[in-house]
Chain A
Amino acid sequence: MRGSFLIKCLAFASALLILASPLAPALAASDEDLQTLGMYYEANDLVVSATRNPKPLSQAAENITIITAKEIEMMGAHTLVDVFATVPGIQVSDRGGPGLFNDFSIQGADVNHIQVMLDGVTLNFIGNPFVDISGIPLQIIDRVEIIKGPGSSSWGSALGAVINIVTKSPLEGRNAGGTLSFSSGERGTRDSRGELSGTTGPLGYFLYAGNLRSDGIRPNSGVDQNDIYAKLRWDLPEKGNLLFTIAYDRGIAGVGDTLSKFDVLLGFRRRDFLSTLSFNYPITAKIDLDLSLRTSYKMTQQFVIVGKSDGMTARESSDGGSAKLTWREGINALAGGVDYDHLDSNYITWFHRFTDKYGVFLNDTLSLGDFSITPGLRYDQMRPVGDFFSPSLGVAWNPTDKITLRAYGAHGYSLPLLCPVYNPIPRQQKVTTVQAGVETTYIPWLWLKTTFFWNQLSDVQEADPADWSNILLKKQLKQGVEVEGKTVPIFNTSLSAGYTFIDTKDRETGATLRGVPRQLVKLGLHYDDNSSFRGTLLGRYGCLNSPADFNGKYNTIIWDLSLAKKVFKRHDTAIELFFNAHNLFNGAQYSGQDDLKNAQRWFEGGIRFNF
């Protein structure tokens, strides 16, 4: 039954893609260029053919997805969790409202196998297998780069994927500009954000402050969080620059109706701080030097709202730095460097660990005609885990400008579980991966990308459900295929679709892993008249494969609608009204774990002022 439903969904998506493909002009267009060319040329001279692929992606052998600030603005999202829910291959658990701590996976890789970085600072806890991305304000993000698959040869502990969040740069060419936005929705949901940015002489700045609060769409899913962020850039007289960033986030949130059957309701307090100072200097025309220092503190405190239970607090701080040298000579673009971090992890009251970890890495890109070969190697050392070599080798081949063929192999790791249970053998969790894929624009007006992945994992660590003081070491296989497609717009309208099939098994018992999504479908209908009106309809479906006794429900597509209309525009000033309908058809999509259910239909509206 579920299979036939899925087939219908895919058939629908394919039909939409095919129907739209013969007519369309552009995937995304430069507004200013189109406006200028529109003055000079007839519309039929401005039909855009499907584009060649950008160099960085065409040279990358890994499966990389990039999400831009403009795409994020179109989504009606509140946090990064909402954004990830739209990306092919990513499954996000919805705990019942915006701004809550959420679990997510990428192509079946658990969150503790995914490294998340903001401004180059790793956000993962080392003492606990989670990373909280709900406190990262969307408005500070310039783009998010997602590498699906191990990224250990560059980044260290990243067995499953790497998420690199790149923040906005100061606005060029203006002393001041920015955005103020406010939205209000059901259950007292209010999202207020403001950013100010500009460049004066050699100094550039970007400042942000925001608040998100809600009484929660589901029971015990309220949130109240405040964020501030600042970035200062100083261009040095001759060349190079200094960059300083600081981010602070403080919030309180429910965790959903998770334990209501035991008459206990829990909440989370969160406090995160991070700061970086970096020096970027081109030593010669071919050699760049990047030096950076970083410090971070994160605290998550679980507290009891109703009933009796033990509260828990996780605190971690880290101080560290990196040095990187990039050298381009001939066919080589070589990046090498070192990372060092001193970590202080404090969990509950009895787990307290100081440790140092360092890594040395060397990554190269060799350009040999149509081929790009990317060997990489990283060596990591950390007490008490020991050392690890992470090699990788990738090949990207562009036989024509309309096709890229990719192959990638790597051996990688993630840090072991160090808490909350005592881990007698804190060894790395390991993966060997092989990926291959094709990206093409051969079909007119359609961009298509397919990636096959095969990940063999060993020493995967899970707490023994029968005895929480024991760690189980597992051998697993996670393999599958991912297909993504986008059309160029017709009458300002374009379509996107993504399908991921994930086959998993326990390599010792042969049993399928429960709780890992088996199929993920993402659909999108996008409209942008490049002038005043834009809208997005996004659908997501996940065959969550949760254990039968969880009573999960996931046989419908969740649809989110976002509409925005500019009501005033003059020079750099614009006022835009927007409206978001979340879970438009009130569908159910949850695994049933901890009795958590996704948020039902809710609406909100707001205003955005750009100046």
Chain B
Amino acid sequence: MRALFLTILSGLLFSVTSVFAHDILVVQSLQVKPFDEALRGFRSVCKTESITVVVSGAPGVDVSRTVREERPDLILAIGADALNRVKKIRDIPIIYSMVLNPEKIAGRGDNIAGVNMNLSPGKYLGLMAKLNLPNLRVCVLYDPAQTGNMLKNIRQTALAKGIEITAKEVHNPKEVPELLTRLKGTCNLFWMIPDPTVVTPETVEFLLLLAQQSRVPVITFAGKYVDEGALASLDIDSFDLGKQAGEMANKVLDGTRVSELPDSEARKAVLRINRKVAKKLGINLDALEGPIHQTESGATYLPAILQIGARLEGVVD
């Protein structure tokens, strides 16, 4: 009986084949719509077989163990928590997506690359320039610990475009109202960047109210603030962020070294504008709202927007 058992067991143990169970392990922080969209985008270009682990609903999930068991060719980390969980793995390529500050989490490991959630400052500055505000002076609040690198990038790009940036450091959301009040009169446009210290429900409410009172337009990174009174937003497209990551994954699976891939910014911007606010502030949106063109991909573009690489998704009347 024992001999029979051992024979069967040996047969099972050594039935080794060259077929991998799963080539890509997707580690997803949460199962929410934006992350699901990113995964959909990834799969739209990267058809390699994958398995997904959603870590939020699984207390104690040991991702390292999963990796050891699965031994995938590549790991896709969707979200900061996911990247945090896999960053210690050194011998498997890791591509991330939907992470705001990847360098803060993982540094720049030789096996880690991906797409962060930020659009190039050039896209925002291009949009601001098209508003034709006289003597454009832009104010920004930022927390050096959160978005210090982003601000450096903003300053460099603005310098090249000849746009004046006034930036003030914030270390606590409670400092925001006072700093905003002090900035009154020093700029004619406020740029809201995705900084968790600066952007909280309370600070946004104060900011938009003050901006309205001071007749200063606000350009922001998320459409939800356009509904609340910002003039315009350039949003990221989570589906396309996933697609970008998928394209990177394809390159890695085709033999490109991860260290040769640049850490990328989101490439596609979605524009939302608030006509009512524009009208109140006397801002002419003609440069943004030209005749609509249908592109080959079916997306609806505006000619002026094409120059800043954005897609018009919604207009608040």
Does B135 sit at the interface, judged by CB under 8 A? no
Known contacts A173-B107, A364-B12; A56/B235 CB under 8 A: no
The segment from A96-104, A328-336, A458-466 found at the interface with B is A328-336
Closest to B17 in A: A330
Pair B87/A46 contact, Cβ less than 8 Å? no
> A48's contact among B22, B30, B199, by CB below 8 Å, is which?
B30
Known contacts A55-B69, A391-B5; A42/B224 CB under 8 A: yes
Does A7 sit at the interface, judged by CB under 8 A? no
Give Cα A375 to B105, complex, Å: 38
Q: How many residues of B contact A (CB 8 A)?
A: 63
Chain A contacts for B79, CB-based, 8 A:
30, 33
Query: Chain A: interface secondary structure?
Result: mixed
Pair A330/B60 contact, Cβ less than 8 Å? no
Give Cα A388 to B142, complex, Å: 66
Closest to B60 in A: A66
Pair A34/B30 contact, Cβ less than 8 Å? yes
Does A221 sit at the interface, judged by CB under 8 A? no
Chain A contacts for B219, CB-based, 8 A:
none
Does B160 sit at the interface, judged by CB under 8 A? no
Pair B59/A66 contact, Cβ less than 8 Å? yes
Pair B16/A570 contact, Cβ less than 8 Å? no
Pair B68/A326 contact, Cβ less than 8 Å? yes
Pair A239/B91 contact, Cβ less than 8 Å? yes
Pair A365/B69 contact, Cβ less than 8 Å? yes
Pair B51/A55 contact, Cβ less than 8 Å? yes
In chain A, positions 280-322 with a C-beta closer than 8 Å to chain B are 282, 285-286, 288
In chain A, positions 45-89 with a C-beta closer than 8 Å to chain B are 45-57, 59, 66-68, 70-71
Closest to B201 in A: A38
Give Cα A509 to B30, complex, Å: 53
In chain B, positions 15-67 with a C-beta closer than 8 Å to chain A are 15-22, 25, 29-34, 51-62, 65-66
- Greatest chain B CB density within 10 A among A56, A365, A488 is at A56
Chain B contacts for A66, CB-based, 8 A:
59-61
Q: How many residues of A contact B (CB 8 A)?
A: 67
Pair B34/A28 contact, Cβ less than 8 Å? no
Chain A contacts for B53, CB-based, 8 A:
52, 54-55
Chain A contacts for B5, CB-based, 8 A:
377, 391
Pair A571/B145 contact, Cβ less than 8 Å? yes
Pair A40/B194 contact, Cβ less than 8 Å? yes
Pair B81/A33 contact, Cβ less than 8 Å? yes
Pair A51/B56 contact, Cβ less than 8 Å? yes
Give Cα A53 to B222, complex, Å: 32
Chain A contacts for B84, CB-based, 8 A:
32
Does A373 sit at the interface, judged by CB under 8 A? yes
Does B100 sit at the interface, judged by CB under 8 A? yes
Chain B contacts for A362, CB-based, 8 A:
9, 13
> A36's contact among B17, B25, B33, B100, by CB below 8 Å, is which?
B100
> B196's contact among A35, A59, A285, A328, by CB below 8 Å, is which?
A35
CB distance from B239 to the nearest CB of A (A): 13
Pair B17/A33 contact, Cβ less than 8 Å? no
Closest to A172 in B: B88
Does B171 sit at the interface, judged by CB under 8 A? yes
Pair A29/B9 contact, Cβ less than 8 Å? no
Pair B34/A41 contact, Cβ less than 8 Å? yes
Known contacts A41-B224, A285-B91, A571-B145; A447/B62 CB under 8 A: no
Give Cα A570 to B31, complex, Å: 28
Chain A window 127-153, contacts with chain B (Cβ cutoff 8 Å), 1 for yes, 0 for no: 000000000000000010100000000
> B58's contact among A54, A70, A375, by CB below 8 Å, is which?
A54
Chain B contacts for A401, CB-based, 8 A:
52
Closest to B37 in A: A45
Pair B55/A40 contact, Cβ less than 8 Å? no
> A51's contact among B58, B145, B196, B235, by CB below 8 Å, is which?
B58
Pair A334/B57 contact, Cβ less than 8 Å? no
Chain B contacts for A71, CB-based, 8 A:
59
Chain B contacts for A54, CB-based, 8 A:
53-55, 58, 61-62, 66
> A239's contact among B58, B61, B90, B105, by CB below 8 Å, is which?
B90
Pair A40/B221 contact, Cβ less than 8 Å? yes
Does B208 sit at the interface, judged by CB under 8 A? no
Pair B70/A40 contact, Cβ less than 8 Å? no
Does B307 sit at the interface, judged by CB under 8 A? no
Does B297 sit at the interface, judged by CB under 8 A? no
Does A27 sit at the interface, judged by CB under 8 A? yes
Pair B196/A39 contact, Cβ less than 8 Å? yes
Show 20 residue pairs from A and B whose CB-CB distance is below 8 angstroms, ordered by the A residue: A27-B59, A28-B56, A30-B79, A33-B81, A34-B30, A36-B194, A37-B32, A48-B57, A50-B57, A54-B62, A67-B59, A285-B71, A326-B68, A330-B16, A333-B69, A364-B12, A377-B6, A377-B9, A401-B52, A488-B57
New contact pairs (15) apart from A40-B221, A285-B91, CB-CB < 8 Å: A28-B57, A33-B79, A33-B80, A35-B196, A37-B34, A40-B235, A47-B32, A56-B65, A56-B66, A66-B60, A288-B68, A331-B15, A333-B71, A364-B12, A377-B9
Interface on B for A, CB 8 Å cutoff?
2, 5-6, 9, 12-22, 25, 29-34, 51-62, 65-66, 68-71, 79-81, 84, 87-88, 90-91, 100, 105, 107, 117, 145, 171-172, 194, 196, 199, 221-222, 224, 235-236
